[in-house]
Amino acid sequence: MIFFLKLLSRLPLSVLYILSDVLAWWARVIFKYRRETVFENLKKSFPDKSEEEIKKIAKGFYTNLSDLVVETLKAISIDKNDLASRVQFNNIEMLQDYLQTKQSVIMIAIHQCNWEWMLLAGCIKLPFPIDAVYLKLNNPNMEKLMFETRSRFGGNPIPTTNALMEIMKRNRSTRAFAMLADQVPHKSVDKYWSTFLNQDTAFQLGTEQLPKLTKDPIIFMSMKRVKRGFYEVDMIKIAEPPYAKGRDFYIIESYKEVAEQLVKDHPTDWLWSHRRWKYKKPLYA
């Protein structure tokens, strides 16, 4: 299986995008992959949009999701220069002050466009290593393949199982810690509740707590699709020490506002199949 995936990744992207078109149609029309979740999320997030508008966004989502699949497959073997030409990072200069003072940064993003390519291209283009926090896969062979892929250009991924300890240890050297902060928190952990896309939404407390522990600035990585196979990333400073004293959950709220606007501006590119709202806000939260 792994050998086959590596072999498949050698195909040109032009061929893989043909495969993506077939995959998108199959997932949307035949298999109806998480169709109820996708449409429920869209309707609740955009209550003012018509049924036709919702269907159009959903169709675009399935196309972009299948592109994510084949592009992640291509990441196994993609040429360094080819990838660098496909992901443009804007305002990199904002990182120079941190580099000169040997200050690490925390980079947060959402499941928008192709976060795997953003990580790999960031390792190529940004002025310090990027260590991404990730959830380990259950299949050991796939876990090894993804770890190797994410490490290709100098990154050193951090499993969530020991993320805090590793980040505190690695923070002694200048680097960027990357994470996706829009996942639904585990049911058993404490959460911060706010309104996101017109719905009561639980956020992970780590988004607020981690930068205050590390004393690192936090930067939102806003990824947008320019055209098929090409992206650009804007870096938006969310907060930096000493942060906004006296304003509880300032970091999460700032992150949420930027993330929400990005989804509204480019709705087809977010991961609508994710069961983001599977937990309901308790009466006393």
Average pLDDT over residues 46-57: 98
pLDDT digits (tens, 9 = 90+) for 217-245: 999 999 999 999 999 999 999 999 887 66
Residue 63 predicted with pLDDT over 90? yes
Q: Residue 159 gets which letter from DSSP? A: E
CB of 254 closer than 8 Å to CB of 239: yes
First to last CA, the chain: 46
Average pLDDT over residues 88-106: 93
**Which stretch of DSSP H or E encloses residue 210?**
helix 206-214
Residue 190 token pair: 């404490």
Instruction: Provide the b/e sequence for 94-116 (b: ≥16 CB within 10 Å).
Output: ebeebeeeebbbbbbbbbbbbbb
Report how far residue 169's alpha carbon sits from residue 13's, in angstroms, rounded to the nearest whole number. Answer: 39
In degrees and rounded to multiples of 5, residue 151 shows phi and psi of -100, 0
Closest CA to 41 of 273, 196, 211: 273
Range name among 77-81, 123-127, 278-282 with the lowest pLDDT average: 278-282
Give the C-alpha distances (Å, rounded to integers) separating 52 from 20, 193, 274: 24, 31, 22
